[in-house]
Structure formats: structure tokens, C-alpha cells
Chain A
Amino acid sequence: MKQQETIEVEGEVGALLTKHGMPRKKKKMNEMEKKGLIFSIVVLVPVFITFLVFWVGVNFQSILLAFIARDVETGKEVFSLYNFEKIIIELKNPNSALGEAFINTMKYFALHLVKIFLSVIIAYFLYKKVPGHIFYKILFYLPAMIPSMVYITIFKEIIGVYGPIYTLLESVFGYEMPALFASDATATNTILFYVLWSGFGTSMLVYVGAMNRIPGEVIDAAYLDGCGMAREFFQIVLPLIWETFGTYFLLAFTTIFMETGPLLYFVGFDRSLNTMTINYWMFTQVYGNEYNMPSAIGLFFSVLTVPFVIVCRYLISKIETVTY
């Protein structure tokens, strides 16, 4: 702990001057502190190198790619704002591929927020040890545990034409279920339903873990004071797990345009249905060897998201967290 204090003092401007305003002599590091610095450097240098190459380098190249477009007349690649102009034109048209991808992305985002709230409610009941809670924890984590490929392939077969649900509805009610992946509206809604239905696993476990760390005495004291479950949840549990909750909330904003959903397994590279999200649209473009437009879209939406994230982070930090 001693070394931590020493370095921290050196880092402060005020600490470099004595009370008479004279420059203070820098405190020399002792042998142990030097070794600690070497250890930190050995650990962090490879991390810095990969960061510089695969984050800074990649992002720098991505920015360059975003401003490159092919000249129609000469066929040569030129620096221009063409990609960004095209993005704005496409976004203005809700029927364009990008416009529809944007609308779908917003639907995923809204669903993501719903999932955050539902996860915390489910976690609360599991934390309160609802009858069968151990069994439910395993069941609810199934979709996160079993690879999406497995789950989605089976799910698609179950809801498909002549699948078990179709056959049951037809034989019992005489109702012929429509092919859910035959129209844009039902296809997207089916995928959204799947995302919600299967999406509580990991976050639910994290919330339960956070709730389990709440001191039992706090809950006991609240109970003795006549606190009901709703009040306990909103006024005790939620504030005490606010950091975890807030982090998930912030991550939802950070990843707002990064949502690909399980589209690869549901629709593959089929573009006849308007089920794309912005990020999945970029994936299919890059897979088809188109690099400039996806980079431009990435840059455009990254810049667009920053203010939202900053405001959201500010608002979350304004809510007082309780330490225990």
C-alpha cells in the first residue's frame, strides 16, 4: 500500500511544491517499487501493443476506408464523402435496405431495454428463492448455455410449416398457421420473440450474484419494519445492485447499433426478407468483399451514438449508489 501512496502523491501537481512554493525533490523509488513498475510494464506492454495494432490500427484504417469510394467514370478509388451522402439518402427512405435495417435495430434496442428490466425482476424472484429456484436457474440459462445454432435450428423447425406447432394447431383447432418466415413483418417479429424468449441467461445470473452479496441483515431489518416485496425490490435491492444494473443499462446504449441478433442462423445470407439490422447488414457486406460502405456506416453510427452514451453515463452516475 505504501508504494501506491508514494506514486499517487508524485502524480499530483500540488505535491511537487513545498508549502513555501519551492520545488519538492522527487521521492526516489525504492527497490520494491522499481520491481513493481517493471512487473506492471511486463504485464501491460503486450496489452498496449495488441491495442495499438488491433484497435487503434484497425480503427484508423476503418476511418480511411470510410472516405474511399470508387469513381464511376474512371473506376479508380478516390477520397470522397460519397459514402456518407449515400447513407443519409438511404436513411431518409424507410423502404431502403439501410432504412429498414435502422428501424429493425431500434426494435432490437427497445427489446434489449425490456430484457434488462425483466432480467432483474426474474433475478429478484430467484434471489427470494421461489419454489424450484435451483431448477429454474438451470432452465433459464439453457439458451445461453446451448449454442444458438442448436437452439435456433430446433426452434425454426418447431414453428415451421408442417412442424409440430403447425400440426397441433391444425389438428385441434383446424387453424393453418402461416409460414412465419414468408413475410417481412412476421419474420422480424418471430426473431424478436426468440430474442426475448431466450435472452435472460447471463444477465439474470449476474443480477442474482449481485443480489446474493446484499447483506442479509439489511433485508431482515427491512422485513421487521414491515417492508413488502415490491418496496424491498424498488427501495432496497435495486439501489444496492445499481452499479450492476447501471452497467448493463449503459452497455445497452453503447452497443445500440452493434446488435446482430441471431440473424445468421435464422436467415443466413438471404436478403429477400427485410430482417437485417445495421450491424448484420455490415457483416453481409464485408462477407461479400465490400469494405468501404460498411466502414462509413460504422463511423457514422459510432459518432451518432457517442452523445447518447455520454448523457446516459452522466445520468447513471447522478443516481447515488449505496455502498455496503
Chain B
Amino acid sequence: MEKTVKIKKRKKVAIPLIIASVIFCIYGVSLAVPILWGFIMSLKEPFDYFYDQLSFPDPPHFENYVRAFQELSAEGTPLLLMLFNSIWYSVGGTIVPVFACMTAGYVCAKYQYKICRIWYWIALVTMIIPVMGTMASSLKLSMDLGFYDNPATLVTGYMATGSNFIIMYAFFKGVDWGYAESAFIDGAGHARVFFQIMLPQATSPIIAVALTVFISKWGDSQGPIMYLPHWPTLASGFFQFQQTAGKDQYPIMFAGLLMSAIPIIILYIAFQDKLMSLNLGGGLKG
């Protein structure tokens, strides 16, 4: 009986799934081809690229990847320094808000004190009510507080609001409080319960949230252009370089651009399963 059901099921769903698979295949290839083309072009002789953007490089110039480190710079900042800036900007820009969201999300989900409820509603209201156009005043405030063009600007990201807070809140809401009660009986304190019992259970959503924040920070160029003009990251540095680059510099620029994507690709491959644990459901209900 089981066999019959399985065979029938396969026949019934096969056609729509195959059609979908064909469409997905075309779409997926269209997404992959630009990156592949960029890689092939990054191996071209600069003038060869200028005249022919369809042929394969003959011979491939892998030295373009070394030349990228030597020749690419943004306002006097070499590629290696841009990479360093990208690392601290992305790592710091991830740790600060993710720590804020996971701690605040936890206390709001698990404690019913007034301060927790107040913060939950603040986070919810700021997420739902759109506020825009604050770029000018936040830039002015950054200048007034001495955060402008200063790595200390990362502190301004210590905000437990938005969808990341909701994701953490929704996750901790679903964690059984019985674990904590047992630990309290054994003499554990609240901080210990959080760090040693609750946090290890939340590694999947924390990694997922951290990964999405890190990816957005790594590719963010508006932030560094506006708030850290003399600390170009790879994203903002390449933007500045591109404004003045000639066509003959494109193969080297492609080499640099593709290298800048490597850390993200490695992180994604390592943690792609964790991204599936992103869950917004339930968080907005209160």
C-alpha cells in the first residue's frame, strides 16, 4: 500500500516540479554567468579586455590578482588596508547590534518586568512606524559626539530594534523556561543561565542573524562613504576607484572585486544551514 502511494505521489507532482526546475535552472544560470564572466575577464590582459569582452584570455593572467593588491587604491588607501577596514567595520558592525538584540530579545521574552515590556513595545513601534530622513541629523550628531570619521561610530549600532530583535525575541519566547528553573534550583544566577543554558540553544538564530548583518556590512558602502570617509572599506573603496578607473583597469578591478567576495562565500558555505533558522513568525504578536 505504501509503495502505491509513493509511486502515485511521484507521478502527480513530477510535472509541475520539472517545469519549475527548468525555469529555476535558466534563472540560476543567469545569476551565475555574470560571476563566471567576471572571473574570466579578470584574467585578461588590460588592453585585450578593452577590445574583446567575449573571448577567453590567452594566456590567463593570474598575476592580475597580485597586481590588484599593488595597484588598487582609494584616496591613497591600498587594497590591503581597505581589507583591514572592511574586517573591523563588518565584525564590529555585526557584534555590536547582534549582542544588543540577543540580550534584549532574551530578557523581553523571558522576564515580565515593566522595563522589559516597555522595551518590547519601543522595539515594535520603531519597527512598525516608519522614520526616514534622519541621515542629516545623525551625521550632525556623529560630528558633535566625535564619532564622525572615527571607528567609534560602531557604538551607534548598539540598537535592539528591527527584525533582528524580533527574530531573537521570537526564538527565546519558544525556549522552555524549565531549563532555567532547574538551573536556578542548582544555584545558577540569571547571567549564568543566559550565557550557559539559553545562549547555546540559540546558536542557530544568532549565527543566522550575525551572518545576514555581516554580509550587509561587508557590502555596505553608503555607511563608510558618509560616516567614515577616510577609512575606505572594500565596498566604498571600490566605489571610489570605479569613479575614476579607465576600461583598461577593469580586469584588475574585477580581480579585486572577486577577491572581496571570498570571505562571504566561505561564511555562507560554512553556515548556510543556519540561515534557514531565521524566523520572524510570532515576534510581532507580543
User: Taking beta carbons and an 8 Å cutoff, which residues of A are in contact with B?
Assistant: 1, 3-4, 7-8, 11, 32, 35-41, 43-44, 46-48, 50-51, 53-55, 57-59, 61-62, 65-66, 122, 125, 128-132, 135-151, 153-155, 157-158, 162-164, 167-168, 197-198, 202, 205-206, 208-210, 212-213, 223-224, 228-229, 241, 243-244, 246-248, 250-251, 253-258, 260, 264-265, 268, 278-279, 282-283, 285-287, 290-292, 294-299, 301-302, 305-306, 309, 313
Contacts and interface: CB of A to CB of B under 8 A. Distances in A.
B281 A241 contact: yes
Q: What's the dominant secondary structure at chain B's contact region?
A: helix
A51 B221 contact: no
- Of B110, B114, B137, chain A has the most CB atoms within 10 Å of the CB of B137
A176 B231 CA distance: 42
Contacts of A229: 13, 16
Contacts, number: 311
A125 B30 CA distance: 19
Given A39-B191, A43-B103, A209-B277, A61 B140 contact: yes
Interface string B199-242: 00000000000001001001101100110000000110011001
A146 B115 CA distance: 40
Contact of A206 (B25, B235, B279): B279
A306 to B, nearest CB: 6
Contacts of B34: 151, 154-155, 158
A175 B127 CA distance: 49
Nearest to B245: A153
B282 A50 contact: no
Contacts of A8: 112
Given A3-B112, A260-B222, A298-B133, A145 B215 contact: yes
Nearest to B15: A229
A308 B54 CA distance: 49
B272 to A, nearest CB: 7
Q: What's the dominant secondary structure at chain A's contact region?
A: helix
Contact of A302 (B25, B106, B130): B130
Given A41-B115, A47-B104, A149-B221, A294 B138 contact: no
